[in-house]
Structure 1
Amino acid sequence: MSVKLVILGLLMEGNKHPYEIQQVINERQMKHYIKLASGSLYYAFETLGKDGFVKVVDVVSDTKRPDKTIYAITEAGEAEFEKLFFEQLLKKEHMYRPVYASLSFTSYIDQDKLERALKGKIEETETTLKKMKRLYAEKKKTAPLGNLSIIMRVILHLKAELGWFQFLHEAADAGKISKIDEDAEALLEEFEI
C-alpha cells in the first residue's frame, strides 16, 4: 500500500507530526495489512511537502526533545489522496507469497525440520489471529465500517491460512507432503475448492 495514501488519509483526520502517524499505524495494528519500510515515513513526508500535498502548520519546541513539525493536508493533497485512494482500491491483486516458493521444493528438505517450521507458522498465525480478534472487539463500536472491514478480511484470511497451515503440518507429520497423493480429490472437497 502506498505510504503516501496512508499519510494523506491520516492527515484527513487532522494535523499530525510524522511520529503521531507512526503511533496511529501501531495503535490500529496497520502493520498487519500495510507494508511500511522503516524510515519511509519521514521521506514520504518530505516528498509530499515538495509536491505541495502537505504543509507545515506548526513547529512545537521542547527543550528536552527535538522540535516536532506538525503537518496539514493541502487542497492539492486532498485531490492527491482521492487519486491514490482509487488507484489502490482498483489495483489488481496478485497472490504472491514467499511460502509458495518454499512449498514448491518440499521434496528436497529435511522433513522433520519442515514439520517443525510449519508448526511455528501455525503458532505465529494463531497469535496474529488473536491480536486481530482483540482489535476487532476494541474497534467494532467506534470504527467506521470501512476500517472494520479491513480487520474482518484480515481475520477471515488468517482463519483460512491457519486451516491451510494445519493441513500442511498434518501432511508433513504423516510424511505425505512431498509425495503424490492418490486421493487429492478428497482434499479439494475438504477445503471446499
Structure 2
Amino acid sequence: MSDNLTDSELLVLGLVSEMPRHGYELEQVIEQRGMREWTQIGFSSIYFVLGKLEKKDFVTAEKPSGAKAKKSYIMTSTGRDALVTQTLTAIKTVRPTYSSILLGMAHWPTLTRQQALSALRQRGEALQTELSRIENILIDQQPLPDHVEALFNFSIGQLKAEADWLHQTLDYMTCKPWNR
C-alpha cells in the first residue's frame, strides 16, 4: 500500500502522533488550534480519514471498555515512519495552488470593463478583510510556538502578495485601453 498521504491524512496522523485521540477530540483540537485557517478538513471526514489510516496500518484503534467510551486511535511505528517522511516532503516540496482568481482571469474577456474592474476591487476589499481577520487571530492566540506562528505568517504573506498583485493589476488595467 502506498505511503503517500493526502493533506487530511497527514493532518490527522500528526495529531494522533501527539497522543491517542478519538474523532471528536480531533475535531476539537482542529477547531481550538485554528487549523481550518490553513487546511481543509471537515468534521464529517475525520472518521473516514481515521479509517483510511487504519487500513494503511498507520494507526490502530484502541477498543473502548465502557459502553459509551469512544474508540481512540494510536499511531503505529509504520505511521510514525510515514509521518516523518511525509512531513519532510511537505516542507521541501513546492506544489502549485489553484485559486479561483486564475479561472476568473482566464475568462476575463466575457466581462464588461466595469464588471471586471468592480470584481477586482471587491476582491481587494475581501483580501483586506481576510488579512485583518488572520492577523487578529495571530495576535489573540499569542504566545504561539514558533512553528504555529510561522503557519499564520505564511497565510498572511500569501494574502499580502495577492493584495500587491491585485493593486498592480488594477493600476495596469485602469491605465490600459480596453480590448473588448
What range is the shorter-chain TM-score in?
0.7 to 0.9
CA contact (8 A) 1:129 1:158 kept: yes
CA contact (8 A) 1:17 1:68 kept: yes
Instruction: Pick closer, same or farther for the CA change 1:77–1:178 going to 2, 3 Å.
Output: farther
CA distance in 2, matches of 1:96, 1:2: 15
Count of matched residue positions in the alignment of Structure 1 and Structure 2: 173
Name the amino acid aligned to 2:136. R
Correspondence list, 1:1-193, <5 A: 2-36=7-41, 39-57=44-62, 59=64, 61-62=67-68, 68-94=70-96, 96-141=98-143, 143-169=144-170, 174=174, 176=176, 178=178
Name the amino acid aligned to 1:13. E
The alignment-based identity, stated in percent, is: 21
CA distance in 2, matches of 1:42, 1:6: 13
CA contact (8 A) 1:171 1:177 kept: no
Of stretches 97-106 and 149-158 in structure 1, the one that deviates more from structure 2 is 97-106
Q: SS at the partner of 2:71?
A: strand
Q: SS at the partner of 1:35?
A: coil
Shift of 1:18: 1.6
CA distance in 2, matches of 1:177, 1:86: 48
CA contact (8 A) 1:54 1:77 kept: yes
Name the amino acid aligned to 2:10. L
Structure 1: state its 5+ residue gaps. 180-193
CA distance in 2, matches of 1:169, 1:177: 13
Q: Alpha-carbon deviations, 1:115-137, whole Å to 9, x = none?
A: 33223312322222122112221
In structure 2, the residue matched to 1:182 is none
In structure 2, the residue matched to 1:191 is none
- The alignment yields a C-alpha RMSD, in angstroms, of 2.7
Q: Compute the TM-score of the two structures, normalised by the length of structure 2.
A: 0.78
Q: SS at the partner of 1:68?
A: coil
CA contact (8 A) 2:27 2:43 kept: no
CA distance in 2, matches of 1:177, 1:125: 26
Instruction: Pick closer, same or farther for the CA change 1:133–1:105 going to 2, 3 Å.
Output: same
CA contact (8 A) 1:111 1:175 kept: no
Instruction: Pick closer, same or farther for the CA change 1:136–1:47 going to 2, 3 Å.
Output: same
CA contact (8 A) 2:57 2:79 kept: yes
CA distance in 1, matches of 2:14, 2:153: 20
Q: Alpha-carbon deviations, 1:85-134, whole Å to 9, x = none?
A: 12222223225433123213423312222233223312322222122112
Shift of 1:147: 1.7
Q: SS at the partner of 2:70?
A: strand
Instruction: Pick closer, same or farther for the CA change 1:23–1:97 going to 2, 3 Å.
Output: same
